[in-house]
Chains A and B, each alone.
Chain A
Amino acid sequence: MTFDVGSILLQLFSGLSRGMMLFLLSSGLSLIFGVMNILNFAHATLWLFGGYLTYSFMQAFVKTLGNQALAILPAIVLATGVMFLLGVVLERFIVRRMYPRELPEQLLLTFALILIFGDLIKLIWGVENRRIFLPIEPMEIMGSFINPYFFIIIGSGAGVALGLWWFLHRTRYGKIVRAAVFSRDMVSALGIRIPFIYAGVYGLGIAIAAFSAGVFLPIMPIGLGVDMDLIIQCFAVVVIGGFGSILGTFVASLIVGIVYSFSILIWPDGALAIIFLILVGVLIWRPWGLFGTEMRF
């Protein structure tokens, strides 16, 4: 447990990349909640599913292409695409029926999805952890070896974040999505097909999550049960940042990511507990988070 600049830098980058991954994961959750008012408990489980899928595609591409480093890119792209379609199908056939229902039933449904997809993972891939090894040399910075892949994660995370922002604020479709958050009825009164929008948003949310899983795979092994750890962190992020606010999600995920990273340095076993305590604290004193709209209970 050294406190020199090198190890702090290492934890900082680790935390930043974790924050990016969390941001991508949570922005999907926030988006789905903002547009459709459904809290997708199964989000982290679908993240995990996407991760496993990326792993499998990676294996397949390595066999055909032979080069490890090159194979990961098409694997991620393909997995993201597949998960987008899966999200659309899920929304169309299952989630859609829950809109007129009450909250407990919606939560129950998404909880059931956790069980289903969690076990599907076990069924398809078995119980072993999976990870990807990329032949990348660690760089030396200030006396500590940092995996340059961190930069790739941070870069791609920021890229997707910017892309999402650009999509929501600069394209016609994105503006329709934002309008649907604001007033679903007016949007459909304008002749725009709301069901397609909802399906698309759900698919997008899942796809972004799957992308983050795939990108993060070289750093962190995935296994059964990781989804439950992650969903708590995800809740922490959307609660701290405020539901429906992408900026809030961004800030909050960086906070959670870095806090988690440094907690590992200080108290390895309790890193999740610290995140949890922050979550509890925010839920008690400011449930609407940093950037959310104030609500009264």
Chain B
Amino acid sequence: MITGQSMKAGGCATRLLERLGFSEVVTLGLGIVLVLLPLLPGEYVVVVGAEIIILGLFAMSFNLLYGYMGEISFGHAAFYGLGAYTTALLMRYFQSDGGEVGYFQFIFAVLMAVPVTALGSLIVGYFCIRLTGIYFAMLSLAFGELLFYIVFSWYSFTKGDDGIQGLLPPPRFQNITYYYYFSLAVVAVAMAVLWRITNSPFGYTLRMLRENKNRAAFLGINVRTCMLVNFVIAGAFAGLAGALWGPFQRSVSPVLLGSMNSGTAVFMTLIGGARYFCGPILGSIIYTALNGYITLYTVYWPLTIGLIILLVVLFLPGGVLSVVDKWLRTARTRRLSGQDISLRGDHPSGGRA
């Protein structure tokens, strides 16, 4: 493998790529970018960065269902919103004697979103996983809208359309940079867990479910149980993301559960690349950047993102990372031409991605 060409600067990167694999390198790269982000000038960058991270976790949880299991859910934001409301209500309760939330109370409020959302997704998932394809999409959309509707209408509990206001994180986390690193830490841990899950036998079972459920059943896999477990995990992580969102924005509203927000996760995953571990995170960066930039000029954001999605679906269905992957692959092939090439893993439809 050591040719004259690898002595160039590019050779180092190539060897790193080959040693670690495409997904790992992308993850590492994005991780470095996100850690260093607050060094950029201005507070707004950090605000956008926090949005990217939290929504990125939300999109990653969605991708468990879509990229790994092959089912598209248009109601995933319901769990995100459920987590946000759980944390919001708990914080409200802790704040009820006036003043601020203590650190333990805050962490507790955030963490409690996980079991609550897991329970919610267990109930919803019980019904959804009995179906696939179109019916899964329709049912998930319907459940999402139902949960939105419940939160919207149940004024006495959730304050309906008014939302819950005045959520203050503990004093130190009110500084956006601290909150940014707090979120980054939480999301990093979550991603580590997701990495373990997707690269475990369970993760590979999911991929098989995506490809051919019948065959999986013939191999003795309990398809329904696997799908349900995955649904619950996806819901729980979405809830964790939502839990981080509430204190960040200082308020929650029923919109968080709606179909537009569900669409956000879908779009991020699509833009970044559904078949790659870090696709949703990259998608989150691109989407949030687009959102932040374009909404300065126009209020017609859904129109813009709709058109972008249209173009992406038509011409770039694998997302940005698929283009990068293909380009790197061609570059590597050219560099190593003449030798027997056995590229390790990283094939979108099977291997490590």
Residues of A within 8 A of B (CB): 39, 94, 97-98, 101, 103-105, 107-109, 111-116, 118-120, 122-123, 228, 232, 235, 239, 269, 272-273, 276, 279-280, 283-284, 287, 297
Contact = CB atoms under 8 A, between A and B. Distances in A.
Contacts of A101: 317
A228 B313 contact: no
B287 to A, nearest CB: 13
B262 to A, nearest CB: 9
Given A123-B303, A228-B145, A279-B142, A104 B135 contact: no
Which secondary structure dominates where chain A touches chain B?
A: helix
Given A101-B317, A116-B307, A122-B300, 4 more contacts: A108-B266, A119-B303, A235-B138, A287-B135
14 contacts: A104-B70, A105-B317, A107-B72, A109-B313, A109-B314, A115-B305, A119-B300, A119-B302, A228-B259, A235-B142, A273-B150, A276-B146, A284-B130, A297-B131
A272 B317 CA distance: 35
B127 A284 contact: yes
Contacts of B28: none
Contacts of A116: 302-303, 306-307, 310
A160 B71 CA distance: 37
Nearest to B132: A297
A94 B314 contact: yes
Interface centre among B74, B139, B313 (most CB of A within 10 A): B313
A120 B310 CA distance: 15
A108 B313 contact: yes
Nearest to A270: B153
A171 B317 CA distance: 40
B142 A232 contact: yes
A287 B131 contact: yes
B309 interface: yes
A119 B306 contact: yes
A297 B130 contact: yes
Given A269-B153, A276-B145, A283 B307 contact: no
Interface string B123-138: 0000100111111011
A113 B145 contact: no
A293 to B, nearest CB: 14
B126 to A, nearest CB: 9
B145 A283 contact: no
Count chain A CB atoms within 10 A of each CB in B66, B70, B142 and give the residue with the most. B142
A111 B265 CA distance: 13
B263 A111 contact: yes
B303 A120 contact: yes
Contact of B149 (A122, A273, A279, A287): A273
Contacts of B150: 273
A111 B131 contact: no
A77 to B, nearest CB: 29
A243 B198 CA distance: 35
B306 A276 contact: no
B272 to A, nearest CB: 14
Contacts of B145: 228, 232, 276
A97 B217 CA distance: 33
A256 to B, nearest CB: 13
Contacts of B310: 94, 109, 112-113, 116
Interface in B105-131: 127, 130-131
B130 A107 contact: no
Contacts of A112: 306-307, 309-310, 313
A105 B70 CA distance: 11
A272 B133 CA distance: 24
B270 interface: yes
A187 to B, nearest CB: 24
Contacts of B266: 108, 111
A284 to B, nearest CB: 6
A297 B213 CA distance: 9
B134 A273 contact: no
A239 B303 CA distance: 29
Q: Which 8 pairs, one residue from A and one from B, show the smallest C-beta to C-beta distance? A: A115-B306, A119-B303, A116-B306, A112-B309, A104-B72, A115-B302, A119-B302, A112-B306
Contacts of B133: 103
Most B C-beta atoms less than 10 A away, residue of A104, A120, A284: A104
B331 to A, nearest CB: 27
Contacts of B305: 115
Contact of A107 (B137, B142, B149, B306): B137
A120 B301 CA distance: 11
B2 to A, nearest CB: 42
Contacts of B131: 283, 287, 297
A228 B255 CA distance: 14
Contacts of A272: 149
Interface in B11-46: none
A237 to B, nearest CB: 12
Interface in B139-162: 139, 141-143, 145-146, 149-150, 153
Contacts of A111: 74, 263, 266, 309
Contacts of A228: 145, 259
A65 to B, nearest CB: 34
A60 B276 CA distance: 53
Contacts of B313: 98, 105, 108-109, 112
Given A107-B72, A112-B309, A239 B138 contact: yes
A280 B149 CA distance: 15
Contacts of A283: 127, 131, 135, 138-139
Nearest to B307: A116
A13 B315 CA distance: 48
Contacts of A107: 72, 74, 134, 137
